[in-house]
């Protein structure tokens, strides 16, 4: 019994050797396959690409005070003392600008007619970092300008209607507003042409017993002036 113990120990030791080798071999193959699998599963990082957006169609704006013809100014704003208009202040004339005219047509005992006309321009560039085109930015601005006109403080009987045939899209906003103890009739035309937005506001009233202008007449004249202003954007970029 005592002599067989060392022999048994040697047999068990020898038997254990191949088992360890097999286990080691399997472990090595398994690790290698895992590494290969992990390596193939990890994609090669790629540099982030900036989104491609369409370039701006218009790169500049017209002189606001030259955007409406002299004859139109004479018809819409009779009695104006500044036919060349009053230029609005702008820190960047390539992106924004405005001009206004006002006049009083005094008809003596028949009363007087007051008119005020204002036109403003906004131009937008594409923003590649945000993936937004100049036209998309102008579309957003167009909607905001319409909302702004509709939200004019004190405005009554506000109505909007499409204005086809002016730029890519246009809307007329009509309302009445009382100021200086008189009722003024307003017609605002907001139009978008490519990446530019034009807002034209025309208003007036009758003094000393003169009849106030009708909404239809004011709208007709405002649309005429708006067409000229929008066309001037294209002309300025030729």
Beta bridge partners of 191: 170, 198
* pLDDT at residue 211 tops 60: yes
Question: How far apart are alpha carbons 102 and 111 in whole angstroms?
Answer: 17
25 and 69 co-located in one domain: no
36 and 88 co-located in one domain: no
> Structurally, how many domains does the chain consist of?
2
Shortest CA distance to 188 belongs to which of 122, 116, 138, 140?
Answer: 116
- What pLDDT score does 49 carry? 59
38 and 68 co-located in one domain: no
Is 53 part of any domain? no
37 and 143 co-located in one domain: no
Is 58 part of any domain? no
Is 50 part of any domain? no
38 and 116 co-located in one domain: no
Residue 193 belongs to domain with CATH number: 3.40.1000
22 and 138 co-located in one domain: no
With a CB cutoff of 8 Å and minimum separation 6, the contacts of 7 are none
Structural domain including 3 reads: 1-42
Instruction: Give the residue-averaged pLDDT of 3-21.
Output: 44
Instruction: Dump pLDDT digits (tens) for 145-182.
Output: 999 999 999 999 999 999 999 999 999 999 999 998 99
Q: How far is CA 88 from CA 120, 195, 216, 223, in A?
A: 9, 21, 28, 22
């Amino acid at each position: 019994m005592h002599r067989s113990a060392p022999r048994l120990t040697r047999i068990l030791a020898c038997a254990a050797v191949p088992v360890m080798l097999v286990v080691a071999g399997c472990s090595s193959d398994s690790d290698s396959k895992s590494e290969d699998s992990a390596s193939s599963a990890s994609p090669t990082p790629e540099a982030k690409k900036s989104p491609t957006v369409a370039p701006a169609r218009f790169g500049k704006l017209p002189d606001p005070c030259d955007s409406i013809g002299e004859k139109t100014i004479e018809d819409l704003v009779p009695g104006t003392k500044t036919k060349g208009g009053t230029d609005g202040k702008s820190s960047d004339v390539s992106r924004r600008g405005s001009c206004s005219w006002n006049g009083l047509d005094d008809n003596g005992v028949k009363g007087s007619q007051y008119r005020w006309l204002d036109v403003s321009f906004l131009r937008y560039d594409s923003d590649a970092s945000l993936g937004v085109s100049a036209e998309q930015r102008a579309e957003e601005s167009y909607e905001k300008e319409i909302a702004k006109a509709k939200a004019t403080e004190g405005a009554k009987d506000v109505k909007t209607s499409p204005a086809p045939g002016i730029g890519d899209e246009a809307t007329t906003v009509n309302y009445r507003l009382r100021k200086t103890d008189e009722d003024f009739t307003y017609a605002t035309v907001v139009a978008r042409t490519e990446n530019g937005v034009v807002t034209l506001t025309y208003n007036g009233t009758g003094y000393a017993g003169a009849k106030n202008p009708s909404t239809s007449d004011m709208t007709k004249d405002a649309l005429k002036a708006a067409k000229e202003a929008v066309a001037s954007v294209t002309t300025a970029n030729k």
